[in-house]
Amino acid sequence: MTDEFDDTLPDADMDAFEAASLRLSVDLGALADNWRGMNTRSGKARASAVVKADAYGLGIEDCGSTLYHAGARDFFVATAAEGVTLRPHAPEARIFVLSGIWPGQERQIFNNDLVPVIASEEQLSFWMGTLADRGEHPFALHVDTGFNRLGLPLDDALYLADDPTRPASFDPVLVLSHLACADTPSSPMNRVQLESFRRVSEAFEGIESSLSASAGIFLGPDYHFDLTRPGITLYGGEAVNEMANPMRPVAKAEARIIQIREAGEGQTVSYGGTFLLKRASRLAIAAVGYADGYHRSLSGSGIPLREMGYGGAYGFINGYEVPVAGRVTMDLTIFDVTDVPANAIRAGDYIELFGPNVPVDEAARAAGTIGYEMLTGLGLRYERQYLIDDE
């Protein structure tokens, strides 16, 4: 017996993507188009690109490089480590770190020319002390206008803008806030936050201002200020409730069918036996489960959402929608493929979990969640393929 790999075996040269049990296709051309579309919608403002959480689960290196070449010159990440990863792929861009800076992160911030977003009195005090020792370095200031998440309180920020005793090193390159209800255009909260942020922008005259992420951009030019921050829309997701999604789909997740089996009327499917077959059926067992971000709440039965009457998830194969049957398990999900002609499906084929035929937000609604979570929750087992437009 030899320990050497026999490269004459049939699969020696098989492409890893073609052989994978789970695969994720990322359309970088659609990503670039979506950014250009959001930049146009931003009117007189510039659009940045939000690439936090590994570019919403799709890969910060490839997505960041694509967005940079599309024209983005301002990026937002959540952590300094994300900024370090992005920097080689956006060499001349400003990279803002939304979590700010903490002791021990100075080298990451300075060596990679990252822009911390200062969001609290504690961070501001630490940052001013750091600059006193090191010298000038750009930073942004986050002001809370009603979200009650991150940011200096409004009154504190307004006081700071006019405080003659503030340190000479206090010279932010951007002031920003975040809308709580922009996905619901009729919410009065939007106007309340807009008026508060106008006060901030006026108080910090001469400094660029940013209020709107994806949904806020759709609220119109009053909300755009100098810089917008599109995120979910870049990756093809919905930003505004009950509005047709104008973005191109970017991600397609697929799972290989491991087995197709016959089951009789009256039999049950998956854990708990909660899914009762009302006819003789064919079932496709696919290599995806909640360990891969395909949530248990997508199950066809046996969970609270289904018991309350909400419809379950479905996949797509060869022109047919195929519902999830029974409970999603850790590594496997069962789809009812009875209505797919027998000659149109076989073991080894792939079922689309979300993508052009199953919108990611529609899949998310079946799980009782949002497209953001579907994308950022993708597990580690997807083999990825990045598609680039031929030009």
Residue numbers annotated as active site: 52, 271
Distance CA 101, CA 118 (A): 7
DSSP state of 347: T
Question: CA–CA distance from 177 to each of 265, 376, 389 (Å)?
Answer: 57, 23, 35
Residue recorded with tokens 């936050």? 193
The token pair that represents 60 in the structure block: 């910060």
Residues facing 274 on adjacent strands:
none
Question: CA–CA distance from 260 to each of 94, 277, 284, 335, 343 (Å)?
Answer: 51, 16, 4, 9, 12
Nearest to 337 by CA among 317, 362, 354: 317
Distance CA 286, CA 22 (A): 9
Residues facing 252 on adjacent strands:
25
Distance CA 152, CA 170 (A): 14
Residues 76 and 119: beta-carbon distance below 8 Å: no
Distance CA 295, CA 277 (A): 22
Distance CA 42, CA 223 (A): 9
Burial class (CB in 10 A: 0-12, 13-18, 19+), 389: exposed
Residues 250 and 25: beta-carbon distance below 8 Å: no
Residues 144 and 151: beta-carbon distance below 8 Å: yes
- Structural Rg of the chain based on CA atoms: 24
Residues facing 268 on adjacent strands:
276
